[in-house]
Amino acid sequence: MKLLFSNRSPLSVQLFISMALALILIVFDVNYRPFKEIRYYLDTIISPLYYISNSPAASYDSLYEMSKSREELVNENEKLSEELLNKKADLLLLAHLRHENNRLRELLKAPLWHEEHKMAAQVLLADTNPYAYQIVINKGQHEGVYVGQPVIDEKGIVGQIYETAQNTSRAILVCDFQHAIPVQVQRNDIAMVAVGNGCNNDLTLDFLPNNVDIKVGDVLVTSGLDGRFPEGYPVAVVSSVKIDISDSSPIISATPTADLKRLRYLLLLWGDQGEQHEKP
């Protein structure tokens, strides 16, 4: 078989002939249909070689996409889990806020029969011991709070302020041994004094006549005689009526209307005595 190029052919001649053949093939491929059909069949025959040669790169890309997808799924799952946890925490907070909102709504519906100036306050600390029960609230002299100021909740009288600071105040509760408040029976206006007997016990009533008309279930309200507590606020409900055999004097106990062991939000009142103090 005779070679197209002999060993003695110059390199420039070989290059010229190759380029000429290439140009001829390009012209025939563009202008003659048989060459297009030949190229079609040749491409069809060698097409598997394309897939074989491309398979390593395709496999690598596929594995990369799979690993990337898995990583994205893992990250997305972690993100969704975190969001779900946050949403659950938000739901818990929402439930708490709904409960607090309901309590504030009840507080705003407290039995106010006068148009006294009032302010909401929050309990910061409950200081309890066998002989005293006091609380610290988040309002002080800066808000115009004064010593002796009445404190109520949505159910009635809680106590009064006995010590103030710039931004906080301390209140003594009606159940404290040191606390006393003038009250009257709502049913018949009989006046007496309710004295604290410890917050694990009911209030005791002093300065009672021997033949006092009082029954279990009677509601005791503030009488306003001390000029400190406005008249008409619920204080306690009579829980026990007994007679002392030695001197025939009545022994009467009453349960405070306010839940003194579960105080959260309170109202401060500016009554007649508080008019001389600056209101916020």
Domain locations in the chain as residue ranges: 11-109, 117-276
Which letter, b or e, does each residue of 69-86 get, where b requires 16 or more Cβ atoms within 10 Å of its Cβ?
eeeeeeeeeeeeeeeeee
Q: What is the 8-class DSSP label of residue 230? A: P
Cβ count near 234 (within 10 Å)? 20
Distance in Å from the first CA to the final CA of the chain? 117
What pLDDT sits at residue 54? 65
Q: Cβ(197)–Cβ(204) under 8 Å?
A: yes
The residue count for the chain: 280
Coil vs helix vs strand at 150: strand
Q: How far apart are CA 175 and CA 153, in angstroms?
A: 15
3-state secondary structure string across 156-204: EEEEEEEEECCCCEEEEECCCCCCEEEEEECCCCCEEEEECCCCCCCEE
Fold of 117-276: Thrombin, subunit H (2.40.10)
Distance CA 107, CA 85 (A): 33
Amino acid of residue 153: D
Q: Cα angle vertex 66, ends 60, 72, to 5°?
A: 135
Q: Is 132 exposed, middle or buried (0-12, 13-18, 19+ CB in 10 A)?
A: middle
Distance CA(19)–CA(119), nearest Å, equals 101
Instruction: Quote the DSSP letter at residue 109.
Output: T
- pLDDT tens digits in sequence order for the chain, 280 residues long: 455 545 556 777 778 788 888 787 777 766 766 666 776 676 677 667 656 766 777 677 777 767 666 777 777 777 777 677 667 656 655 665 776 677 676 766 665 545 567 888 888 888 766 666 889 999 999 999 999 999 998 888 999 998 999 899 999 999 998 899 999 998 888 899 999 988 888 999 988 877 788 999 999 999 888 888 888 889 999 999 988 777 778 889 999 999 888 888 888 988 655 555 554 4
Mind listing the pLDDT tens digit for each residue in 182-228? 999 988 888 999 999 888 889 999 888 777 889 999 999 998 888 88
* Placement of tokens 């093939």 in the chain: 25
